Amino acid sequence: MNTIKTTLLLAILTAILLVIGFFIGGRQGVTLAFFMAIIMNFGAYWFSDKIVLKMYGAREIAEGDNPRLHSIVRSASQIAGLPMPRVYIVPSPGANAFATGRNPEHAAVAATEGILQILNDDELTAVMAHELGHIRNRDTLISAIAATIAGAISYIAFMAHWIPFMGSDDDDSRGNIVAALLVAFLAPVAAALVQMAISRQREFMADRASAEISRKPLSLASALEKLHFAARKIPLKANPASAHMFIVNPLFKKDISSLFSTHPPVEERIERLRTYAGEGSN
């Protein structure tokens, strides 16, 4: 069901892109938006992992650098039936983790120094199993595509703000100015909402995968409680464009609406994990 929802949301996101292209430039606008999405997705496919790892100063480690983390990732990846991903440590006291890479054969998991300090082995295993769940479900690629399309929508919407100053008399090419401007304001908001909805669906799926891989849903529940508290106490200096990648939202805000959050409420995630434990996953 979550996979169907994600597919539908990606289709909606693509439709928003094409609609804003049409309102700005008619058929030519649709074509421009389509090719822009292709180019940006090509870049996201090949380079998004390198960009995000560099963004956070992540350092790749060998087994001898951190035997504990390396052993946990290796064991979990074997249980999940995945190739051993590259393992990185992010030099930050903020407690968090993420996965990246275009496919399981080119994947990486990253843990902050902070998360290694506050979680026990069972909790860290469950967190790494969650990240491997993202890799197995191809969430790292899906999230990159969703973020890229949403970024393209925002860029085209910014361009649309200049329509009144173009002075073109070609109604077919520029469309209705009022409608185009309205779409230019609303499309980025709608795109952000859809992108965040995709992110929340994939988090639920990765939590479920963690329960299956680690057999420790209650350990993940415990880890989420610790990480949620730590995110408020020691915030991670995260780029909003990559906040969806982390296991808990690094951009903690008390007043944020669930609609505008990249992650489901921690309380709901914990409740589901306890349900999985009751079903015999632990």
Task: Look at residue 102 in the predicted model and tell me its pLDDT.
Answer: 86
Task: Look at residue 173 in the predicted model and tell me its pLDDT.
Answer: 46
What is the full per-residue pLDDT of the chain (282 aa) written as tens digits?
Answer: 555 666 666 677 777 777 777 766 677 777 877 777 778 777 777 888 899 999 999 999 999 999 999 999 999 999 999 999 999 999 999 999 999 998 999 999 999 999 999 999 999 999 999 999 999 998 888 877 787 777 777 777 776 665 554 445 554 444 456 666 676 677 778 777 877 888 888 999 999 999 999 999 999 999 999 999 998 889 888 888 788 899 999 886 654 555 568 889 999 999 999 999 988 644
Query: Per-residue pLDDT tens for 155-195?
Result: 777 766 655 544 455 544 444 566 666 766 777 787 778 77
Contact of 69 with 99, CB cutoff 8 Å: no
Task: Look at residue 165 in the predicted model and tell me its pLDDT.
Answer: 47
Classify the C-alpha dihedral 2-236-118-252 as positive or negative.
negative
Which of 188, 196, 268 minimizes the C-alpha distance to 228?
A: 268
User: Burial of 201 by CB count in 10 Å (0-12 exposed, 13-18 middle, 19+ buried)?
Assistant: buried
Task: Look at residue 140 in the predicted model and tell me its pLDDT.
Answer: 81
Q: Catalytic one among 60, 105, 113, 131? A: 131
Task: Look at residue 255 in the predicted model and tell me its pLDDT.
Answer: 47
Three-state helix/strand/coil letters over 180-202: HHHHHHHHHHHHHHHHHHHHHHH
Task: Look at residue 193 in the predicted model and tell me its pLDDT.
Answer: 80
- 131 has catalytic annotation: yes
- Would you kindly state where each structural domain of the chain is located, as residue ranges? 2-281
Three-state helix/strand/coil letters over 222-248: HHHHHHHHHHHHCCCCCCHHHHHHECC
Q: What angle do CA 266, 194, 203 make, to 5 degrees?
A: 30
Which of 82, 56, 40 minimizes the C-alpha distance to 243?
A: 56
For 254-259, which contacts have Cβ atoms below 8 Å and span 24 or more sequence positions? 259/193, 259/196
For 212, residues 6+ apart whose C-beta sits below 8 A from its C-beta are 133, 281
State the helix-helix crossing angle for 121-136 and 67-80, rounded to 10 degrees: 50
Measured in degrees and rounded to the nearest 5, phi and psi for residue 99 equal: -120, 155
Task: Look at residue 164 in the predicted model and tell me its pLDDT.
Answer: 52
